[in-house]
Structure formats: structure tokens, C-alpha cells
Structure 1
Amino acid sequence: MTGAPGTTTTTRRPLPGLLRLGLWRTRLELTQFSRERDALVFVFAYPILMLGIFASVFGQDGATAGGSGDAAVSFAQYFLPGMLATGIMLTSFQSLATSLAVERDDGTLKRVRATPLPPVAFFLGKIGQVLVVSVVQTALLLAVAALGFGIPMPTAPGAWLTFAWVFVLGTSVGTVCGIAFSSVPRSGRSVSAVVIPVVLVLQFTSGVFFVFSDLPGWMQRFAEVFPLKWMAQGMRSVFLPDGAEAGEVSGSWQHGPTAVILGAWLILGLVVAVRTFRWRRRDDG
């Protein structure tokens, strides 16, 4: 655009809408993720490998877990829900807590913040990437479980509806808590030492690697505070027979408490993430 003689002015094109920017950022995050071959293999292969290991060690035929009589199930079937829950946790909580801490340490977040990209669009990209990867990871695990281990899949629409809300709530909780926890490590070098022990402790106490009702009482009380236990229990209600409900500590699937506690963690994680997230390193002002 031409103004007064000897001067020129330019008009900036307005940024695309927030949703469009979020979709663009999601594609970018997925592209970057696909180039990290080691992370790509780990995220998709870990739940499948762990299911295979536990099914092989504890056996499938004649071995039961989480029930008796008609409600008895193979160890592979019992541990599938835990593998689904822990896969969601790794893809959302561990992945975001680690990647954001590294991006803060190497200056990526600082550079992103200096661009016109709205912060909400940046986080929409992270959320979109987590959602897509979680869906693919879950689909692969279910396919291997059904075809490779002969684990029966639910046929009732109500079971898949429960699966959907547990999956969405669990992924959402893991995402916001991962964003919030990313501010805890002091540097990118220390992030693995801070994040991985938290994930391991929750896996071992939440009924992922062991039958939850067989764990010591104090360990069960500890796990009940955190979302992974409720994610695994919600998934068990989908993939175990109705009679297995009696094998739970409470004697029921506790869908109501599961939704309430996951919802509470979602709100808590969101509040903490908004209040504590940092775009710069601690020593960078």
C-alpha cells in the first residue's frame, strides 16, 4: 500500500483462526515426532512388549487373575487394561513432561513465545499430537491382543462407551499433568531422572504389572490418590467379564468415583499448568 510521497506502508495479513493454527501445529508436532525413530518405536512397542512378556511369564492357558470360576480370566486378558492405561500415560504425561522440559532448556519454547503464534495454538498442537499418537498406539495394542493373544474384545456398545470416556479423560489428565510437571525438572539433562521414577512408581502400585487386589493395603491406598489406578480399573471394566467385578478391592468397577477423580485431576492439572508453566529456563529470567 502506498501512502504519502516517498513513504510506503504495508498491511499485515491477519493470522488464521485458532483452530486452523492448532491443526497446523498438530501436523508439525506429528512430523517432528515421526522423525524421532527411537521414541516412535518405544511409544508403540512398549505396551505390546510388556503384554507379551507378562503373558509369557505368567502363562495364558489355565492361569487366572482377578476372579474365580466363570469370572476367571487369563493373565494376558487381565493385564491388557493396565497396558492400555500405562500406554496412555507414557504418550501423554511422560512424553509431554519430557519434551517440554527439553524444549525449554534448548530455547525452543523461548523462540516459539517470540513468534505471533498464540500460546493456545501451541498447546492445541501438543494436545492434538498426543491424541493422534494415543489412538494409534491403542489401536495397535488391541489388534495385537486380539490377533496375537486371542484376548476377546467386548461386544456390548456400553462397554465401548465406557472405553471412550475413560480413554478421553485419561488422555486429557495425562496431557495437562504432563504440561504441569514439565516445570519441575531444573534442566533438560535431569528430566529423565525426575520423570521416569514417577512413572515407574505409579505403574508398580496401580495394578499395571500386578493384580491390584494382591498388593499391600497401604500400596492400594497410595495408588488410589493418583489417576493411573483409576484409568486401569476403568479399562478392566471394559475388557474383563462382568463377574470379575467381584475381584476388585471395592467389589465394583466404581465408574462414578473413576469419573470424579479423573475429572478432579484434570482440573487440578490445568490450574497448576496455567500457574506454573514457564517458557524460559530458570536462569533466563
Structure 2
Amino acid sequence: MTDTATAVPSTAASSVSLPSTLRLGLARGAVETKMFFREKDAVVFTFAFPIILLVLFGSIFSGSLEGTGLTVSQLYTAGLIGAGVMGSGFQNLGIGIAADRDDGTLKRLAGTPMPAAAYFVGKVVNVLVVAFLEVAILLTIGVLMYDLDLPSDPSRWVTFAWVFVLGVSAAALLGIAASSLPRSAKSAAAVISMPFVVLQFISGVFIPFTELPPWLINIASLFPLKWMCQGFRSVFLGDAGAALEIAKSYELGRVALVLGAWLVGGLVLCLTTFRWKGRKDG
């Protein structure tokens, strides 16, 4: 009788299924998003910075682009959408995860039953939400202030979808990998932000490629931001904007190829360089 009694709870316990990694990751994503919006200064900086840049550059350089029917302000809108998506993944995750490592959050999470993948899924979910909201805000400003026309052709929205997903995913993986570079949370902002700002200036966000020397264009072409911006320009500037590209074409096939390559490369970098513990923890 004793053997039967003890067998019952054992069977019941074995029949309990643990939540899947995806479900835990989505739950973690909800937590990450709530934590992000509770940090008011981070929210203000993340959303206000590209908005301020768009309003400043769009107002100062408001002339027309000869032979295209487009304005410089519309060109900046498309470029800053790419920079906003890249920043949401690369900059925010690079700095945020470095802070999690420095304050011991990663070390504590590593000691819980939660799969490691669920933590990263949660981070990516948070990035997707922030990037989507940022794009929506920048598009609203572009439409209301700079007469940006939203695409009426469904195929251009399909292009937007795959450029957005590939771009934000590659940026998120690169941000996770780059989070291992800073020695501490205090240095993370400088270490992550400086190369990202430089990359924006050579990737066609603030300065058209026609104004850049060839060697800078060649450097920018190695990184994903240039191709993300090019993809978004194809969506929001249409055929008229193709004349502004170096190849006189948006080269969407190459955009997909380069972003896909950085997605794979970012995953490899994450798997080979990511650290759960800070350097002071050994």
C-alpha cells in the first residue's frame, strides 16, 4: 500500500510539462518591454534622438533633389528609419546586455531553470516592439511634416517587411555579440555608440552617397546599415529615388544577401563571443 501511494505523486510529477522555450521567451519579452518603458530616461533617449535629428536635418536641409521630385527631408526620413531600426537592436542591446552582465542579472538568470535561448528571444521581442514603434513615429513625422507619400503598392510593403525583419534581427544579434566588448556598464555607451554614430555618417543616413569619397562608400558597403537604409529608400522613395543610388538601382537582391549574411554572421559571433559573467567575475 505504501508503494502504491508513493507511485501516484511520482507519476503526476512526470506528467507535468514545462513551458516551451518560445513561450518562456515571449513571457520574458513582455517583462523586458515593461522594464524598458519603466526606464523613462532610456525611453526618451531612444525615441527622441532620431526624432530630433529628423526634425533638425529635415528643417535645415529642406530643398528639392534635382530631377527626382523628392525633397532632402524625405531622403532623411527613409535613412533615419534604417538608423532607428539598427539602433534599436545594435545600440540598445549592446548597452543593455552589458549592464545586465555588470550588475549580475545575467549571472542570476544563468542559474535559473530558464533556457538561455529564452533570454535572447525576450530581448529580440523587445527590440521588435521598440523598432516598430520608432518606425511608426518617424513615418508619422515624415508624412505630416515633409509630405512623404506612403506606398500604395502592396509589393513595396512586402519589401518593407522583409527588410525590417532581416535588418532588426541582424542588428539584434550584432548587439548581443557587441555587448561583450565593454569592460563594464559605465563604458558600454561609449564603446557601442561611437562606432554606430560613425557608421551612420558613412552609410547614407545623413550624407548622400554622392557626396562621399569612394573609399568610405566601400567601407560602408561592408556593414548592414547601408543596405538597410537602401532597402527602406526603395520602399518610401520609390522609382524616383533610385537615381540617387550609386548603382542607379536599389539592388534589392544584394540587400537581402548582405542582410542575410550579417544575420548568419551575427549568430556565429554570439555563439563564440557571448559571456554570461563579467570580466571581474573571472
Give TM-score, length-normalised by structure 1: 0.92
Counterpart in the other structure of 1:50: 53
Is 1:18 matched with 2:21? yes
The amino acid of 2:203's aligned partner reads S
Structure 2 counterpart of 1:271, from 265, 268, 273: 268
Q: Report the alpha carbon displacement of residue 4 of structure 1 after superposing the two structures with TM.
A: 10
Counterpart in the other structure of 2:244: 247
Is 1:173 matched with 2:160? no
Counterpart in the other structure of 1:183: 180
Match of 2:185, SS state, is coil
Match of 2:70, SS state, is coil
Moved more, 239-248 or 91-100: 239-248
Structure 2 counterpart of 1:34, from 24, 32, 37: 37
**Percent identity between the aligned chains?**
47
Change (3 A) 1:244 1:150: closer
Note the residue ranges of structure 2 that are not aligned, 5 or more in a row: none
Whole-angstrom CA distance in 2 between matches of 1:98 and 1:213: 33
The number of equivalent residue pairs is: 277
Whole-angstrom CA distance in 2 between matches of 1:101 and 1:243: 42
Can you list the C-alpha shifts for 1:202-243, whole angstroms capped at 9, x where unaligned? Answer: 011000011122111111111001000001111111111313
Q: Report the alpha carbon displacement of residue 14 of structure 1 after superposing the two structures with TM.
A: 4.3
Q: Is the contact between residue 88 and residue 130 of structure 2 (CA under 8 Å) also seen in structure 1?
A: yes
The amino acid of 2:241's aligned partner reads A
Counterpart in the other structure of 1:79: 76
Counterpart in the other structure of 2:117: 120
Q: Which has the higher helix share?
A: 2
Whole-angstrom CA distance in 2 between matches of 1:135 and 1:241: 21
Whole-angstrom CA distance in 2 between matches of 1:129 and 1:244: 32
Instruction: Indicate the RMSD between aligned Cα atoms, in angstroms.
Output: 2.0
Note the residue ranges of structure 1 that are not aligned, 5 or more in a row: none
Whole-angstrom CA distance in 2 between matches of 1:276 and 1:110: 16
The amino acid of 1:52's aligned partner reads V
4+ aligned runs moved over 6 Å, structure 1: 2-5
The amino acid of 1:64's aligned partner reads S
